Every structure is written in C-alpha cells, then in structure tokens.
Structure 1
Amino acid sequence: MSPPHLLAVSMLTVIVIGTLFLKLPYASETYVSWIDALFTATSATTVTGLSVLDTQHDFTMFGQTIIMLLIQFGGIGLMTFAIFTLLIMGRKITLRQRVYLSSSFSQETSGGVVKLVKSLVCFVFIVETIAFVILSIRWVPIFGWKDGLFYSLFHAISAFNNAGFSTWSNNLIGFVADPIVNITITTLFIIGGLGFTVVTDLISNKRWKKLMLHTKLMITGTLVINIISMFVIFLLEYNNPDTLGSLSMNSKLIASYFQGVSPRTAGFNTINIGSMEDATLLYTMLLMFIGAGTASTASGIKLTTVIVVLLSTIAFLNSKSEPVIFKRTIKREVIIRSLAIIIISLSIVFLFLFFLSITEDASFMEVMFETVSAFGTVGLSMGITPDLTSVGKILLIFLMFIGRLGPLTFAFLLAKPHSTKVRYPSDQVFTG
C-alpha cells in the first residue's frame, strides 16, 4: 500500500478496535448503541472531542481508559508506536517503513525519521508525566487519590494530543479561573500543536538563526495568533453575562486567553460555547479551520498553510515574483500545495455542511459550527452533538476521519496521479 493508504487503514483499524471495546458491557454505565460507540471511538482516535454521549456519566472508568488510549494512539500515530516497539525489540527498520513514517510526519525525505520517532516518544512521555504531576497536586486534594490521579492522567493525555475530551460533563468550566489548570492545559496543547518537527528542531538547535524556516514561522505565527485571539475574545465577550460578563477582571483575562488558544483544535472550553456572541462564534470557526502545526497532534489546514498564502498574496500585491520571509524564499511548489489544501478543505466543509443542513433540525450557525469543528478535529460544540440524527452522526464520523487524515492525503487516496513529459503552449486567462 502507498503511505496514504497505510495511514488510512491503520487509523480505521484503531477505530474498529476501539468501537468493539466501547461496546463491552463493563465499558459503559448505560446502553451504548453501535453508532454511538463508533462515533466516540472515531472522535477519540481522530483527537476531535465531539461526543454524542456524556463521558462522565455514560462511561465507566474502564470505558474512559479506552477513550484515553484511543486519544494517545490517534495523537501520536499507530505507525509511531509500531516503529518504537520494533526499536525496543532491537529490530531493524526497513526502508519502506521509513518512507511510511516520513509520510505520516509530512517529511520530504526519510532520513533521520527513526531518530525523530525516538525523540518524539521520549518527549511525549516526559511532557505528559510533568503535566500529570502538576494536575495531580491540584486535583488529588479535591477528588481523592483514585479519581484525582485518573483525572490528571486523562486530561494530561487529552490536552497534549489536542483531543478536548474531559471526564466532566461541563468540560473545564468549573476551573475557569484556576491559573494552574488553565496554564497547564494550554501549555500542553500549544506544545502538541506546534508539531514534532518543530519540537525536535528546537531541541537540536538552540539559536534562532539555526532554526528551520518552518519552525520560525510556527513559533512566530502561534505567538501572534494567540495574542490576537485572546484580545478578540476579551473584547467581544466582555459584557456577555453568559460567558465573561459575570467574572472578575483577572478571571476574564484567564478565560479569554484559554478560549482564544483552544479553538485551534484543542477543543477544551472554560465558558459556555453556545452562549457566545455570533461574532465570537464566527471568529472561533476561523481558528478551528486554520488549526495548528504540521506533523502535530492537531488538524485543520495548518497555520503554515495560511501564512504561506498570506505571504504569497502580499508578494503579488507588491509586484514581487516570490514571497520572502526571514531572508528565505518560499518554493513555488509549497505555494501551490498550500492553495490546493485550502481549496480542497473548503470544498469538503461546504459539501458536508450542505448535507448536514438537510439532515439536522438546528440553526445554520449551529450546523456550520459543528461541521467546522469536526473537520478541524476540534471538538467544540454549541450543544447539538447529542441530538444529531443517525445520518448526521455518520456524516460527522466521515468528516472527523478526513480531517485527521488531512485533506491533501484524503485527495491522494481518491486521485490517480500520472506523470507526463508532454507540455503545451501557454495562453492568456483573465482573472479577478
């Protein structure tokens, strides 16, 4: 199989296994239908966070543990775990396996990809362990040793993998003003959203000048968009009594920061999403569509894709032949790929939005928010997920799968590429 086919099959395998486990009698407190089990398994494996069931009340601790394991497998990738297991066993990694890995991490070459896997797994273990300890110090005194430790581990894994699943029905609304919980959770999903390539580059190269252009764009872009988003949420929701209006100034700032950085595929919320202003919802959908970094635990069209298109537009308006940033030129094929990703993504979102508008008895804003959230594997919802029709659930299952697989990878699964050496003369086409 080609790398895109293998990625799709491996993800489907995890989803099927997860569905079977969630259907076990001791995995749930209430009856769970096959479609609800499949939806939950898909949402966890694709690290989305949308849920048709109440994770707190409908699943036992065993069921929640299955969800947690699906999140970890889905965020890091089944291929990564498989290769790491082979490395522990002392097996050699074949060239074909290296090619599969490089494809899953969006690497142009397979060189150094095994080293990347080693560094990645160790880094994930260290970061999640540190977060687990910090959250345990906060939650064990409140919930006791058993529940406190489990909640800490669950949220550490869910946050790092940008899943958005919580063990509480109201997500993290109960900790809207808690600085420890807010800082720990946001730090986890920001690190996870930067991408493993960026993390490895930062570890290997301590100086800014030595960093790859991709790393510089991700760090700069993440910092800028997070600051802007925080102030946008703060200004739009400042007087809304159902979100920030009733909070103190410090709590408003903390909640604005959390809800400003969360939509780029993390999916946690400390305020009621369904009560936000329309302008805030629209801006949140933009963040969900953009997503975070390539080769990360996040999805969306990716932040660097947007940056490349913006830089190309600026270069065109300034009559420059090519975009330049940080004294580096962006390749033409990268620009074309970025445009293709945006067009394919918009087409997918429009198609599923069209059908969901037909099948679901909800407002257009609610349906559109749910659609973009599923495509970006974010998990934020205005509250219509449990009330979806069976057809709507199936549509969102497909959309979450496509969103996690990646629009370009999904297009490669359907396309039949062929190369040709024949070139035709160019001609004029008028646009704009």
Structure 2
Amino acid sequence: MISLVLKKKVSKMRFKYVNLNPSQLLVLVFVFFIILGTLLLKLPFATVDSISLVDALFTATSAMTVTGLAVVDTGTAYTIFGQLVILMLIQVGGLGIMSFAVLIFIVLGKKIGFKERIIVQQALNQTSIGGVINLVKNLFIYSFTIEIIAMILLAIRWVPEYGWGRGMYVSFFHSISAFNNAGFSIWADSLMRYVGDPVVNLVITILFIIGGIGFTVLSDIWHKPNFRRLSLHSKLMIVGTIVLNLFAMMVIFFLEYNNPNTFGTLASLGDKMWAAYFQAVTPRTAGFNSLDIASLHEGTITLMLLLMFIGAGSASTGGGIKLTTFLVIVFSVITFLREKRNITIGKRSIKDKAVFRSLAILTISILFIFLAVFLLNITEPDPFLLILFEVISAFGTVGLSMGLTADLSIIGKLIIVLVMFFGKLGPLTFAFSLAKPEAEKIRYPTEDILTG
C-alpha cells in the first residue's frame, strides 16, 4: 500500500517537471544538441590539435544557431569528422530540431499529436497549427533538392580546381552552409578568393537568399505561381527582399568605390559590382564575405549593422528581428503619422496582435543587445564599433566579424554564445520560456499618458 502511494507521488512529480510549454521544450532541446555537439567536437579525432572546452562550445553553438562566427579556423583546426559534426549541427539547426522530429515520426508511421503540432508551430514561427505538418514535409523536399542542385553547380566550378574528391567535398560543405545561412567556410578568408567569380557569387547568394526568405514563402510560391494569389506575408518578403538588397548594393558600391583597401584592390568594374552585390546580401544572416569586413568604411559598416539587425524571414534558416517585423513597425509609424486608425498593407488590414508582437520583438531585442554590448565593453578592451558589430552579428545569426571573435576573452566568448542562442531561438520564444501566461480577467478604465 505504501509503495503504491509512493509510486503515485513519484509519477505526479515526474509529470510536474515534464509538463513544459513549447517554448521551454525548444530551449531545452537546443541546449541538448549544443552540449552533444560540444562533446563531439572535443573528441581527439575531431580536431587536428586539442581545443579548449569553451572553443568547442562556441563552435557548437555557432553551428547549431547557424551563425558562422568562429574562434578557430574551421578548415585547419577541425578534421573531416569535426567538419561533418559542424555540418550536422548546421543542418539540424537550420531546418529545425522539431522538423527532424516530425520527419522521424512520419517515417515510423506514428501519429503526430496536438502538442507536437503546437511545438512545430512555435519552432517555425507560424500563426496557426493548420498545415504545419505539410509545411515540414515541403521543407525537407525543398531543402534537400536545392542543396543537391547547388552542390552539383558548385562542383562544376570547383572539381576542375581541386579534383574530384576535394572538389565534391568543398561543394557539399558550402552548399549546406550557404542554404542554412550558416556562413561557415573551410577557408580562413571565407570567399574572398572568389570575389569576382560569377558562378560562386550567384550560387552561394541564391542559396542563402532562398534559405532566408522562409519556407512558408517557398511553399506559397510552389502552390500559387501567380504573384497576385500569394499571401500578404509572401508578397512582403519577396518585394522587401528585392528592394532592400538592391538599395544596399547601390549604397555599398558608391561608399566603397574609392576605398583603396576594398574596391581599390579589384581590377575591373565587374569585380566591384560582384563585391557590392555580395556584401549587400550577406548581412541578411548569411555570414560569408568576399571582402575584408574590417577594411570597409564606417558608413558601410553602419548599413550592415541595420541589415544584420533586420535579418531574414520568418520560418527561414536566418535570424534577426525578421524583415516582416521591421515592415510592420515601419507601416505602423507611417499610419500614426498620417493619423489613421487602421494599419493597411497591400489593401489588407494588419491585426493589432501582429503590431504588438512586432513591438515586443523590437523592444526585447534592443534591450538584450544593449545588455550584451554593455557587458562586453567591460570584459573586452576593443573599440565600441567592433563590439557592437560582433553582438549584432551574433544576435542576427549572421557570422560576419571585424576580427574580434578569435581575440575574445573566455567571458566574452560565453556572452557571445548566449547572444547567438538568444538570436536563434528568437526574443519571444526566449521570453515565453521564462514568463507565465496570465488570463486577462479584469478590464480597467482607460487613461492617456503623455508621450513623446
């Protein structure tokens, strides 16, 4: 009798601790894979020379969050096994842990319950649970197909240069890294050696633009080839991406045209155009670079800070506050200045919930970035701009650096690890994992507050 009572109490205790909300579960699963990746990278045959536990943790987190910041050179510090571990973390982190869990359930023929669907919805930033399983199926079909096609195209360029074995591996590595917006490269100078190469520039950028536009948009385009029939979200992402990329390309081209340390090293106008194009699109969480970032003018760096903060699209492999979040806030400001009541985009009214959500994301992100910069200014002796660039790059899971990453102190590395983790999961997911939702039972009278 006593044993039966004890068993019931234990079962209740277990249920109490296992009963996590979707946000908390996502955080725990992410932590688990980061720890697993850290342990794998610490194995003797994963590295050429032994690396510290903090460096292994930093690399695992950077790969899992598809950031691309590196404290050691990926191509020389890690063996093929270590590089494959990094690729595995990139693929899982880019497509989503819960997406892989759903794939396993589908392969095994098991039923996917309501709670699992809610977790997938949270992981993919969807507004409803309807169609999330089909979205996951399409996600894998699109992703693997695009990665294979890109690998073949890159192999056509790199096999003649490196031979069959090496050429195919280089193509395989960069195809996965680029599509998942990871920014990891097996070359210490990233893609600077191919600054004017049309094939490398086009394939790599198309990969991370497609990966960053969002799987919801890709699925929408596949089922509705007519632009007019696309959802408002898809239209905003497509038009916003094109406009933002073209604007950034023109600004960078003119800002850097007379810079002797960047465009001044390029022989032809074509190379300069390719360089401007690549540096314009890569801050949207891609992380590759074809020019030395530290040599760019401060005006260019400032523009890149904004692009990294905005980031890619929802339900994509990229980070940042997301382009649609930025656009909702911009249209909200325009609506307020015009003294209109309803926020409209493309003859569609935007729900108040979307506006509140966007403002919450923006506010939490700015506060978190401020805190990280404040702490790094205490622990690191480096200039403010380098620290700010590093933090926003980590938050946006971009992976670009002005050369600060390898010189960070142990505390500095751990701070950046937390920033990458926060940036990948998203401000709201992280906030929801800590906060307890409360039902609004009482409504109080309204009163104005003086602002501005």
CA distance in 1, matches of 2:395, 2:122: 21
Other-structure match for 1:409: 429
CA distance in 1, matches of 2:234, 2:28: 30
**Deviation per CA, 1:5-42, whole angstroms, max 9, x where unpaired?**
11111111111111111011111111211000000000
CA distance in 2, matches of 1:338, 1:95: 26
CA distance in 2, matches of 1:402, 1:240: 35
| Runs of 4 or more above 3 Å deviation | none
**What pairs up with 1:203-218 in 2 under 5 angstroms?**
203-218=222-237
Other-structure match for 1:252: 272
CA distance in 1, matches of 2:291, 2:71: 19
TM-score, length-scaled by structure 1: 0.99
Equivalent of residue 147 in structure 1, options 149, 166, 179: 166
**Is 1:97–2:119 an aligned residue pair?**
no
Q: Which moved more, 1:357-366 or 1:240-249?
A: 240-249
Deviation at 1:245, TM superposition (A): 1.8
CA distance in 2, matches of 1:346, 1:109: 27
Residue 271 of structure 1 aligns to a residue whose secondary structure is coil
Equivalent of residue 340 in structure 2, options 320, 336, 355: 320
Other-structure match for 2:84: 65
CA distance in 2, matches of 1:290, 1:112: 27
Deviation at 1:259, TM superposition (A): 0.5
Report the structure number with the largest CA radius of gyration.
2
CA distance in 2, matches of 1:352, 1:197: 32
The amino acid across from 1:349 in the alignment is I
CA distance in 1, matches of 2:164, 2:228: 46
**Is 1:430–2:450 an aligned residue pair?**
yes
CA distance in 2, matches of 1:222, 1:29: 40
Q: Which moved more, 1:382-391 or 1:244-253?
A: 244-253
**Deviation per CA, 1:409-429, whole angstroms, max 9, x where unpaired?**
111122222112211111121
Other-structure match for 1:4: 23
**Is 1:166–2:167 an aligned residue pair?**
no
Equivalent of residue 277 in structure 1, options 294, 297, 303: 297
Equivalent of residue 31 in structure 1, options 18, 36, 50: 50
CA distance in 1, matches of 2:53, 2:319: 26
**What pairs up with 1:246-395 in 2 under 5 angstroms?**
246-247=265-266, 248-395=268-415
CA distance in 1, matches of 2:296, 2:307: 15
How many residues get paired?
Answer: 432
**Deviation per CA, 1:39-76, whole angstroms, max 9, x where unpaired?**
00000000000000011111111111111111000000
CA distance in 2, matches of 1:281, 1:208: 34
Deviation at 1:210, TM superposition (A): 1.5
CA distance in 2, matches of 1:207, 1:338: 28
**Is 1:191–2:191 an aligned residue pair?**
no
Residue 265 of structure 2 aligns to a residue whose secondary structure is coil
Other-structure match for 2:99: 80
Other-structure match for 2:16: none
Q: Which moved more, 1:37-46 or 1:108-117?
A: 108-117
Structure 2 residues without counterparts, runs of 5 or longer: 1-19
**Deviation per CA, 1:249-295, whole angstroms, max 9, x where unpaired?**
00000110010000011010000001111111111111110001011
The amino acid across from 1:390 in the alignment is I
The amino acid across from 2:110 in the alignment is R
Other-structure match for 1:45: 64
The amino acid across from 2:371 in the alignment is L
CA distance in 2, matches of 1:66, 1:124: 19
CA distance in 2, matches of 1:185, 1:80: 24
CA distance in 2, matches of 1:391, 1:366: 16
Deviation at 1:209, TM superposition (A): 2.1
Residue 126 of structure 2 aligns to a residue whose secondary structure is coil
**What pairs up with 1:128-143 in 2 under 5 angstroms?**
128-143=147-162
The amino acid across from 1:151 in the alignment is V
Other-structure match for 2:256: 237
Q: Which moved more, 1:206-215 or 1:256-265?
A: 206-215
CA distance in 1, matches of 2:274, 2:448: 54
**Is 1:200–2:219 an aligned residue pair?**
yes
CA distance in 2, matches of 1:408, 1:82: 22
The amino acid across from 2:211 in the alignment is G
The amino acid across from 1:160 in the alignment is F
The amino acid across from 1:179 in the alignment is P
Other-structure match for 2:36: 17
Residue 369 of structure 1 aligns to a residue whose secondary structure is helix
Deviation at 1:246, TM superposition (A): 2.4
Deviation at 1:103, TM superposition (A): 1.3
Structure 1 residues without counterparts, runs of 5 or longer: none
The amino acid across from 2:70 in the alignment is S
Deviation at 1:205, TM superposition (A): 1.1
**Deviation per CA, 1:316-370, whole angstroms, max 9, x where unpaired?**
1111111211110111111111111101000000000000011012111111110
The amino acid across from 1:223 in the alignment is I
**Deviation per CA, 1:144-173, whole angstroms, max 9, x where unpaired?**
111111110110000000000001000000
Deviation at 1:140, TM superposition (A): 0.8
Residue 431 of structure 1 aligns to a residue whose secondary structure is coil
CA distance in 2, matches of 1:366, 1:352: 13
CA distance in 2, matches of 1:86, 1:423: 44
Equivalent of residue 241 in structure 2, options 215, 222, 229: 222
CA distance in 1, matches of 2:150, 2:23: 33
The amino acid across from 1:298 in the alignment is G
Deviation at 1:108, TM superposition (A): 2.1
The amino acid across from 1:114 in the alignment is I
CA distance in 2, matches of 1:428, 1:112: 42
